[in-house]
Amino acid sequence: MTTSNLSEQEIIRREKLAGLQQLGVDPYPAALFPVSHYSADILKRFTEENKEEFSKVTLAGRVMSINDKGKVLFIKIQDSQGIIQLYVRRDDLCPGEDKTLFDNVIKHLLDLGDFIGVTGFVFVTRTGETSIHTQTFTLLAKSLKPLPVVKRDEQGNVFDEVTDPEFRYRQRYADLVVNPGVKEVFLKRTKMINAIRTFLNERGALEVDTPVLQSIPGGAAARPFITHHNALDVPFYLRIANELYLKRLIVGGFDWVYEFSRNFRNEGMDRTHNPEFTVLEFYTAYKDYLWMMETTEQLLESAALATNGKSWVLVDGQEIDFKAPYRRVTMYDAIQEYTGIDIEGMDEEGLREACRRLDIHADPTMGKGKLIDEIFSSKCEHHFIQPTFIIDYPVEMSPLTKKHRSRPGLVERFELMVNGKELANAYSELNDPLDQRERFEAQVQLMERGDDEAMFIDNDFLRALEYGMPPTAGIGFGIDRLCMWLTGQTSIQDVLLFPQMRPEKTPEQTIEHPKADL
C-alpha cells in the first residue's frame, strides 16, 4: 500500500510508529503479558471493604478514549468483558527523572485502538468511577487504522452507533469493537449451542462427524457447490446435508447420533438464507415423528431458557414463546385455511390450475411436490408466527420419508414453523430399500425435466438400507435461523460472524482467483 492511498490519520499513525521505534519502543512486542483481572469482574466486585484483593491487578485491552488533564490522563480501555477507566498520573508512572514514557510515548504517540497492558491498584475516583491507578504501562500493539468513532455517555449508553451493513459484515473485526451489542449476540449463540449439546448428551446421544466433501450430494433437495478432488481426479460436492451419512450410522448399530454440520447450498441469499449455514441433525432408532415432535418441544424450550433465562423472545416486535406444547396442523388443512382450496387428491394438472387461481408461478419443471410446496410457501407459512408443527406431507414432497401409517398418499413428516419461516424438518425415516429406490428414481425423472434441486440416486446408501435399518426418527434444525429468533435478530447476517459477500475491490487490494483445475 502506497502512502497516496492512505488517509491523513493513517499517515500520522505510521509517523507515530516510526517515532516509537526511534525511542526504542517495540510497537509489537512478543513478550507474555499475564492478565490477572478483567474489567467486568472488577466493576462488579470491587468495594472499599475488599480493596486489598484488588491491590495489584494486571489488565490488557484496547484504548477507546483518552482524556488529557496535563500531568494526569484518564484512559478507557476495552477488554473482552467491557470497558474500564485507567488513572495515569505522570509522577506515579515515571517516579524518576526520565518522563519519556509519559511525556512522549503515552501523551504523543498513543492512539485510540492501540493495545496496552497495565498494572496498578483499584480505587474509586472523586466522581465515583471505579478505576485502575496505573503503576506500570506497556504498549502491546500499535493500531495503524482508526476505528469508527462511537460516543458513549457516563452510563455507557452508545450514540452514533455504526449501522452500515457493508462495513459491519465485511469488517466484522471492527464491528465487534465499536458495537458492544454484537459480541453479546455471538456469546448467546455459543450458549445456545452448548445448551442443545448438553440436552442431547444427557439423553445418551453420540456426537459424530461426517464428510463435508461428498461424491454424491444427498439428503436434501438443493443445488450443490461443485469442486474437484485432485488426488482422486474426480468431481466432488460440498455437502448439502449430512442426513444419509447419519442414517448409515443407525444401520451400523448406533441408537442416537447427532452432528452440528456446515452445509452448503448454491442458492439465493436473503435475510433468512445464506449459502453456507449450520444445521443440527440427529437420528434416533426405534422412534417416530410423533416422539420427535415432543423431543423438539423440550429441546427448544430448554435452549430458550439457557440462552435468555425465559422461554419467550421478542422478534420484529412480536413475542414468540418456545414453551411446550406447540400447535399441530396438517399441510392440507393449512393450505385450505389460507387459500380456501382443498388440494387433497389433486393431480399435477389440478395443482397447476390451483396455482393459476392463486397467481403463483408454476415452472414447467415442477412436479406435484414442488407445486404443493410453492402454494404453501407463498400463501401459508408466513401466517405461522408462534412455533407450529405442519404435519403429514404429500409423498411427492418427501422422498426420504416413511409413508403414513393410516393416510394413503401422505408421509410421516413435519416442519416446524416459527416467525413465518421453517426452523426444523423431521421424518419417520424411510427404511424400506425398495421403496427408497423408487423414490430416488422419481427424483431422477424430475432432474431430467430440468429440476436442478432434485436428488441424485445414492446407491451406497441404498446398499446400507438393504442391510437393514431399524425404525428411525430424524430431524434437521437450522441453527443460524434459531439463533436469529433467540437473539431477536431480523437478518441471518447478524448471527454469522463472517457472512458471504462479494469480493471487495479497492485500489490497494484486488483479489485474484486462480483458475480452477476442473
| Nearest alpha carbon to residue 25 among 113, 116, 138 | 138
Contacts of 506 (CB under 8 A, 6+ apart): none
Sheet containing strand 213-214, edge to edge, reads: 213-214, 234-238, 226-229
Residues 237 and 285 in one domain: yes
The reply to whether 141 falls in a domain is yes
Q: Residue 354 domain-assigned? A: no
Count of domains forming the chain: 2
Distance CA 464, CA 410 (A): 25
311 and 393, same domain (yes or no): yes
> Is residue 418 located within the same domain as residue 473?
yes
Determine the distance from the C-alpha atom of residue 472 to the mean position of all C-alpha atoms in its chain, rounded to a whole number.
29
**Nearest Cα to Cα of residue 458 among 440, 482, 474, 445:** 440
Cell of 364: 414447467
pLDDT of 104: 95
pTM for this structure?
0.87
- The SS3 of residue 217 is coil
65 and 213 co-located in one domain: no
**Cα separation of 470 and 285, whole Å?**
6
pLDDT of the residue at 518: 37
Query: Residue 471 in contact with residue 412, Cβ under 8 Å?
Result: no
Q: Which residues contact 15 (CB under 8 A, 6 or more apart)?
A: none
| Residue 227 near residue 279 (C-beta atoms within 8 A) | no
Is residue 104 one of the residues assigned to a domain?
A: yes
Q: 228 with 322, same domain?
A: yes
- Domain check: are 456 and 396 in the same one? yes
**How far, in Å, are 39, 122, 243, 470 from residue 56 at the CA level?**
14, 8, 55, 63
Residues 203 and 127 in one domain: no
CB-count exposure of residue 37 (10 Å: 0-12, 13-18, 19+): buried
Residue by residue, what is the 3-state secondary structure of 116-177? Answer: EEEEEEEEECCCCCEEEEEEEEEEEECCCCCCCCCEECCCCCEECCCCCHHHHHHCHHHHHH
Would you give the DSSP letter of residue 371? H
Q: Are 66 and 201 in a shared domain?
A: no
Cα separation, 371 vs 355, whole angstroms = 8
CA-closest candidate to residue 284, choices 326, 255, 317:
255
Would you write out the chain's pLDDT as a tens digit for each of its 518 residues?
A: 566 789 999 999 999 999 999 999 999 999 789 999 999 999 999 999 999 999 999 999 999 999 999 999 999 999 999 999 999 999 999 999 999 999 999 999 999 999 999 999 999 999 999 999 999 999 999 999 999 876 666 665 655 567 888 899 999 999 999 998 899 999 999 999 999 999 999 999 999 999 999 988 887 778 899 999 999 999 999 999 999 999 999 999 999 999 999 999 998 888 888 999 999 999 999 999 999 999 999 999 999 999 999 999 999 889 999 999 999 999 999 999 999 999 998 999 999 999 999 999 998 888 888 899 999 999 999 999 999 999 999 888 888 899 999 999 899 999 999 999 999 999 999 999 999 998 888 888 878 877 776 777 889 999 999 999 999 999 999 999 999 999 999 999 999 999 988 888 765 554 444 444 33
The answer on 139 and 63 residing in a single domain is: yes
Identify residue 234 by its one-letter amino acid code.
V
Q: Are residues 89 and 193 in the same domain?
A: no
Give the CATH number for residue 11.
2.40.50.140
- DSSP 8-state class, residue 273: B
Q: Are 77 and 64 in contact (CB under 8 A)?
A: yes
Residue 512 lies in a domain: no
Determine, yes or no, domain membership for 339: no
Find the helix or strand (DSSP H, E) in which 417 lies.
strand 410-418
Distance of CA 163 to the CA centre of its chain: 19
- In three-state secondary structure terms, 506 is strand
Residue 173 Cα distances to 68, 239, 278, 316, angstroms:
28, 28, 21, 26
pLDDT of 326 reads 98
Q: Are residues 186 and 315 in the same domain?
A: yes
Identify the DSSP state of 286.
Answer: T
Question: Do 105 and 20 form a contact (C-beta atoms < 8 A)?
Answer: yes
Evaluate the omega torsion of the peptide bond into residue 325 and state whether it is cis, within 30 degrees of 0: yes
User: Range of 106's domain?
Assistant: 3-147
Round to whole Å and give the CA distance between 213 and 226.
10
Q: Write the single-letter amino acid at 162.
A: V
**246 and 108 in one domain?**
no
How does 243-273 read in b/e, with b if 16+ C-beta sit within 10 Å? bbbbbbbbbeebbbbbbbbebbbebeeeebe
Of 147, 171, 202, the residue at which a domain comes to its end is 147
Domain assignment present for residue 211? The answer is yes
